[in-house]
Chains A and B, each alone.
Chain A
Amino acid sequence: MNGTPLTILLVEDNPAHAEIVLRSFKEHKVANRVVWIEDGESALDYLFREGQYANPFDSPTPSVILLDLRLPRVDGLQVLRRIKEHPEVRNIPVVVLATSEAERDMARAYEFRANSYVVKPLEFDDFAKLMSDLGLYWLSWNRRIEAGEWGNTLGDQRNSVSVLFRGAGPEFADDGQ
């Protein structure tokens, strides 16, 4: 890696699934900072730095967003549409992390310019491998504009935190902190 700590934003309402994701990253040593947010509304607040996420140092712009579709309040597709509509954040790659292979979801996800659509595998080994590959691809292989319209707002100067759980449930309060 190029040494720059990168932030992954995980939007996932199911804590168990979030834990599987995090532990997958850990297993494959995707040494980055992961921000976990449980609902769509909070995810948008984070990206647009509103409410509790107003401080750019606490809410660095992610390099990739892992987005579950089935979310309370604002569902994943709405979050995706909002991201892609907005010039400031639309360049952030969004990987849809879906539970089912519903064609309707996939079609709509791509319609809303999802960068990738993956289905959560049942086997943990597959799950861990997928997360590893995603990290490798989006964080290493994939080339992107470093300092552009969003470069100056990046809050990734801070590299002390490898995994950050934000808005996480009590079960994960101890993890990585």
Chain B
Amino acid sequence: MKRCRLADLVNVARLQRMVDSLYAAGGVSVTILDQEQNILVASGGPDACLRYHQTNPDTCVLCRRSDTGGVPFAEVSSFDGHGEKWKYRCENGLWSMAVSLVARGVRLGTLFLGKFFLAEEEPDMAFFRRQAAMYGFPEKEYLEAIEKVPRCPSEHLDAMLRCYADFVATLVELSLVRMEAAEALEALAESEARYRDLFDTLDQGVVCQNESGEVVTANAAAQRILGFSLAQLQERTPLDSRWHSVREDGSPFPGEEHPAMVALRTGRAVRNVLMGIFNPLEKKHRWFDVNSRPRTRGTEPGEKKAFEVYTTFMDVTERWKVLEALKEKTQEVEQFFLSVLDLLCIVDMEGRFVRLNVEWEYALGYGLDELEGQFFIGFVHPEDVQATLDAMDTLCRHKEILDFVNRYRCRDGSYRWLEWRAFPRGGRIYASARDITVHREMEAALRGSRDRYQFLFEGMLDGFALYEILLDTEGIPRNYRFLEVNPAFERLTGLRRENVLGRTVLEVLPETESYWIEAYGRVALTGEALQCKNYTKALDRWFEVSAFSLGNRQFATIFADVTERERGREEREDLIGELERKNGELERFTYTVSHDLKSPLITIKGFLGLLERDLAAAEQDLIQKDMKRIGEAADRMASLLEDLLELSRVGRVVKPPGYCSMEEVVRRALGNVSGRLAERDVEIGIRPDMGDVYGDTSRLVEVFQNLIDNAVKYMGDQEQPRIEIGRTQRDGETVYYVADNGIGIEPRYRETVFELFNKLEARSEGTGIGLALVKRIVEVHGGRIWVESEGKGKGSFFCLTLPPGPRSGGGEI
């Protein structure tokens, strides 16, 4: 009710007639003003007012002033059901009452009742006479008019006023109700039109169905989307099989399960059901997001019964396709996430695992449920925590992390090395890690072994050298190059590392024999290892060398200086040889002695037996012969013993050796056998320039004496016996010789002639010790003796060597 004017609310003419009628019936006059103080309705009024007070300008002013609230002494009070109520006497001496008209809290105007006199008081006639005089009214007529002013009892005044006010208020109320109803109707029509528009212009399909599921109405979109007119739709219920509804997975969508039917059945809304519906115009399924909301009746919540259902649906075919594609993509990514061998994870910014792939289970032994939601830092090795937090910091600053390595604790408490790549994106950290534990361990092992080998390389006593074999165009090894040598190599060879590295062996050691290059070439090319001992003349040292291939045409040698060992071995071998020789000699000596000394004993004993018999038979001749045999045997035994003594003396009794002239030695020897030489008339030839020898002079004299004696003894039938003594050079050695032109010696006896008591001729004189003695003396001096002869009758050529100076080792037995 805005700006509603009283005049619009009541029929003014009819109201006027009604108050006129009431006035005429002897009532009190009524006047109604609107808010703007315009008189809407006014019924007559006393002549005093109409003919005198209101016609005179002066008194009219007083009327106006009194009626518009200017009466200071008015009684004002509230009036139940209406506005304020006034009761006042106007300045012209007459009474009035007024009430403000209020509807819905709005003041619409004022209703006046009067003028009148109060029935219980006498009018002040004196006053009116003065009035008449003052304003020029004819007194008589005026006073008569005063007399005619109605007189109202005070007690009736409120009822009258209420009657009039209520009447007007009722009229106003009626008008207001009528007006409001019209307004409401207008608004409703407008709203309905708006909703109809919305319904028809909506993109979503809307279908309303009654409780049987029959279509009541459907909007244009629904008709378009479904491909049916409203009339066609109304033929079908959701149970109709012609819908060909399918579920997301392609299975049929039963009519009873249609959201509308479910909503009707349960009385509850069904939301977001994906449904495929066959569109007969397009001849294919379209996908819909379907929502059904029932309208229910009934007061109790449990007893609400659906009587109608609104179903809205939206074509999501395109969106569904996109979703399908997205799902497929997601599955692909998921598959990838699952099947990749690296450890993948997504971590939130607080450092909690959000997702991990299954590789984590294999790598660390935890179940994924044990990791998801956990702070990853709790699994990091304590020593790596700080570095890991730093890396996390970098990620939080939206920078990626590459090749970060830390250790993660496994379920069994061991740690694995992980190498990380991680980047932050949209409040998450995407990270992939690779288990590099094996690499780390291998690396560590390699480093360890490298250190150990370095230590070994530097510290080993054996020389080590690494080479590269150099081949010619035909692949034949021609040279090799030094790649690396160790300190022991430098020490053992005297070659400096800086002088050999990068150079070839033929540059460093030009005299290297080609067979070494061949041998090392074989090692490098075939992989066959080589072990040998090598004497290096330049260094006068023995090396034991192992060579082995390192592949790629490289080979290495490890060598040790075995000179001392070799020398020791040589010495030992010499000693063993000498011992063996002496042992053999001793054995032969023992054998010879046991045989040769026993032999005369047999003779002696044998002939003693014979002598006994011959004495018994008194055979004088035989007795003589027996005794002679016994004597000879005894003599032989004596000389054998003497010779043995002599022989042993040669080894034991040694005079201090010294240098002496060989010519002198020979001359003394010849002197000792001069008788025999003269007897046989032997011609002696002595070669000049025989130089000096080193040894025991008298023993050397004995040697030559025996050799000359031997030569004479075996001169045979030679008519011009001749002995030549001299010195010659053979194979860089000085050889002294005693040559004769006697019977000579067959090759097979060349060794046996020097044996003890071994005579070529059983009957030749002597025990057969001569040459054995000679051999012994020569050997004791460190020399050798042998005999050469072209055979029987061709003469003999006895040769001997003597060391030029003092021997290092002892030659004594």
Q: Hey, which bits of chain A sit against chain B, CB under 8 A?
A: 13-14, 16-17, 19-20, 23, 27, 38-39, 70-73, 99-100, 102, 104, 120, 122-125, 127-128, 169
Which secondary structure dominates where chain A touches chain B? loop
Task: Give bound CA distance, A131 to B602, whole Å.
Answer: 15
Q: Which of B98-132 contact A (CB under 8 A)?
A: none
Partner of A102, one of B594, B603, B749, B761: B594
Contacts of A169 in B (CB 8 A): 763
Q: Which residues of the other chain, B, contact A70 by a CB distance below 8 angstroms?
A: 595-596, 599
What is the CA–CA distance of A94 and B607 in the complex, to the nearest angstrom? Answer: 26
Chain B's closest residue to A104 (CB) is B591
**Separation of A47 and B603 alpha carbons in the complex (Å):** 28
Q: A13-B762, A20-B602, A122-B605 are in contact. List 15 more A-B contacts (CB 8 A).
A: A16-B606, A20-B603, A38-B762, A70-B596, A70-B599, A72-B759, A73-B749, A100-B591, A100-B598, A102-B591, A104-B591, A122-B602, A124-B605, A124-B608, A124-B610
Chain A residue numbers with a CB within 8 Å of B602 are 17, 20, 99, 120, 122, 127
Is there an interface contact between A123 and B633, defined as CB atoms closer than 8 Å? no
Instruction: State whether B762 touches A23 (Cβ < 8 A).
Output: no
A15 to B762, CA, bound (A): 10
A17 touches B605 (CB 8 A): no
Instruction: Identify which of A14, A27, A72 gathers the most chain B CB atoms within 10 Å of its CB.
Output: A72
Q: How far is the CB of A120 from chain B (nearest CB, A)?
A: 5
When distances are taken between beta carbons in the complex, the residues of chain A under 8 Å from B595 are 70, 99-100, 102
Q: A17-B603, A124-B606 are in contact. Are A99 and B762 (CB under 8 A)?
A: no
Chain B stretch 75-109: residues in CB contact (< 8 A) with chain A: none
Q: A124-B605, A169-B763 are in contact. Are A17 and B599 (CB under 8 A)?
A: yes
Task: State whether the Cβ of B601 lies closer than 8 Å to any Cβ in chain A.
Answer: yes
Q: Which residue of B lies closest to A68 (CB)?
A: B599
The answer to whether A23 touches B763 (Cβ under 8 A) is no
Contacts of B609 in A (CB 8 A): 123-125, 127-128
Would you call B607 and A20 a contact (CB within 8 A)? Answer: yes
Nearest CB on A from B512, distance (A):
52
Q: Which residue of B lies closest to A24 (CB)?
A: B606
User: Do B633 and A16 have beta carbons less than 8 Å apart?
Assistant: yes
Task: Known A72-B758, A124-B605; judge A16-B591 contact (CB<8 A).
Answer: no
CB contacts (< 8 Å) of B629 on chain A: these are: 16, 19
Residue interface mask B561-597, A partner, CB < 8 A = 1: 0000000000000000000000000000001001110
Contact assessment for B633 and A72 in the assembled complex, using a CB-CB cutoff below 8 Å: no
Bound CA span A20–B758, Å: 23
Chain A residues with CB below 8 A from B608, complex form? 124
Contacts of A73 in B (CB 8 A): 749, 760
Chain B residues positioned under 8 Å from A125 (CB to CB) = 609
Q: Are B598 and A99 in contact (CB under 8 A)?
A: yes
What A residues does B443 contact at CB under 8 A?
none
CB within 8 Å of A: which B609-653 residues = 609-610, 612-613, 629, 632-633
Give the complex CA separation of A171 and B599 in angstroms: 19
Tell me the minimal C-beta distance from B635 to chain A in angstroms: 12
**Whose C-beta in chain A lies nearest to the C-beta of B606?**
A20
Q: With A and B bound together, what is the CA distance between A99 and B597 in angstroms?
A: 10
List, in ascending order, chain A residues with CB within 8 A of B596's CB. Answer: 70
Chain B: number of interface residues, binned into ranges: 20 to 34
For residue B298, give the distance in angstroms from its CB to the closest CB of chain A. Answer: 139
Can you list 12 pairs linking A and B with CB atoms under 8 Å apart? A16-B607, A17-B599, A17-B602, A99-B599, A99-B602, A100-B598, A102-B591, A102-B595, A122-B606, A123-B609, A124-B605, A124-B606
Binary contact readout B319-356 vs A (1 if CB under 8 angstroms, 0 otherwise): 00000000000000000000000000000000000000
Q: How far is the CB of A58 from chain B (nearest CB, A)?
A: 22
Q: Looking at B599, B629, B758, B761, which has the most chain A CB atoms within 10 Å of its CB?
A: B599
- Residues from chain A with a CB closer than 8 A to the CB of B605 are 122-124
Complex: A19 Cα to B607 Cα, angstroms = 9
CA distance A62 to B606 in the complex (A): 26
Q: How far is the CB of B772 from chain A (nearest CB, A)?
A: 14
Q: Shortest 9 CB-CB distances between A and B: which pairs?
A: A124-B609, A20-B606, A16-B603, A13-B762, A122-B605, A72-B762, A100-B595, A100-B594, A124-B606
Q: Which residues of A contact B633 (CB under 8 A)?
A: 16
Determine the residue in chain A with the shortest Cβ distance to B608.
A124
Given A72-B760, A73-B760, A102-B594: A20 in contact with B601 (beta carbons within 8 A) = no
Which B residues are in CB contact (< 8 Å) with A124?
A: 605-610, 612
Decide if B599 touches A14 in the complex (CB within 8 Å).
Answer: yes
Q: Smallest distance from the beta carbon of A134 to chain B beta carbons, Å? A: 16
Minimum CB distance partner of B626 in chain A = A19
Contacts of A39 in B (CB 8 A): 762
> Which of B606, B609, B759, B762 has the most C-beta atoms of chain A within 10 angstroms of its own C-beta?
B606
Nearest residue, chain B, Cβ from A126: B609
Bound Cα distance from A147 to B608, whole angstroms: 42
Which residue of chain A lies nearest to B764 when distances are taken between CB atoms in the complex? Answer: A72
**CA distance in complex: A100, B601 (Å):** 11
Which B residues are CB-close (under 8 A) to A38? 762
Residues of B within 8 A of A19 (CB): 629
On chain A, the residues within 8 Å of B607 by CB distance are 16, 20, 124
Q: How far is the CB of B242 from chain A (nearest CB, A)?
A: 126
What residues of A have a CB within 8 angstroms of the CB of B749 in the complex?
73
CB neighbours (8 Å) of A122 from chain B are 601-602, 605-606
Which residue of B has the minimal Cβ distance to A21? Answer: B606
Tell me the minimal C-beta distance from B756 to chain A in angstroms.
12
A171 to B760, CA, bound (A): 20
Contact with A along B751-782 (1 / 0, CB 8 A): 00000001111110000000000000000000
CA distance A123 to B761 in the complex (A): 28
Tell me the complex Cα distance, A72–B757, Å: 10
Question: Would A23 and B610 count as touching, CB distance under 8 A?
Answer: yes
Query: How long is the Cα–Cα vector from A127 to B608 in the complex, in angstroms?
Result: 12
Task: Point out the residues of chain A lying under 8 angstroms from B612, CB to CB.
Answer: 124
Specify which chain B residues have a CB less than 8 angstroms from the CB of A104 in the assembled complex: 591
CB pair A17–B598 under 8 Å, yes or no, is no
| Distance of A139 from chain B, by nearest CB (Å) | 22
Please give me the residue from chain A that is nearest to B600 by CB atom.
A16
Minimum distance in angstroms from A155 CB to a CB of chain B: 26
Is A16 within 8 A of B594, CB to CB? no
Q: What chain A residues lie within 8 Å of B603 (beta carbons)?
A: 14, 16-17, 20
**C-alpha gap A39/B764 in the complex (Å):** 13
In the assembled complex, which residues on chain B have CB atoms less than 8 Å from the CB atom of A23?
Answer: 610
- Greatest chain B CB density within 10 A among A13, A99, A102, A125 is at A99
Contacts of B591 in A (CB 8 A): 100, 102, 104
Shortest A168–chain B CB gap in Å is 11
How far is B443's CA from A15's CA once the two chains are assembled, in angstroms? 94
Q: Which residues of A contact B758 (CB under 8 A)?
A: 72
| Closest-CB distance, A105 to chain B (whole angstroms) | 8
- B633, closest chain A residue (CB): A16
**A17 vs B763: C-alpha distance when bound (angstroms):** 14
A16 to chain B, nearest CB (A): 4
**Chain B residues whose CB sits within 8 angstroms of the CB of A127 once the complex forms:** 602, 606, 609
Interface-central residue, A13, A16, A99, A125, by most chain B CB under 10 Å: A16
Q: Return A136 CB to nearest CB of chain B, in Å.
A: 20
CB distance from A81 to the nearest CB of B (A): 13
CB-CB under 8 A from B601, the residues of chain A are 122
**Chain A residues in 8 Å Cβ range of B759:** 72
CB distance from A166 to the nearest CB of B (A): 15
With both chains docked as a complex, state the minimum distance between the C-beta of B514 and any C-beta of chain A, in angstroms. Answer: 50
Distance in angstroms between the alpha carbons of A85 and B629 in the assembled complex: 37
Chain B minimum-CB-distance residue to A101 = B594
Across the interface, name the chain A residue whose C-beta is closest to B630. Answer: A16
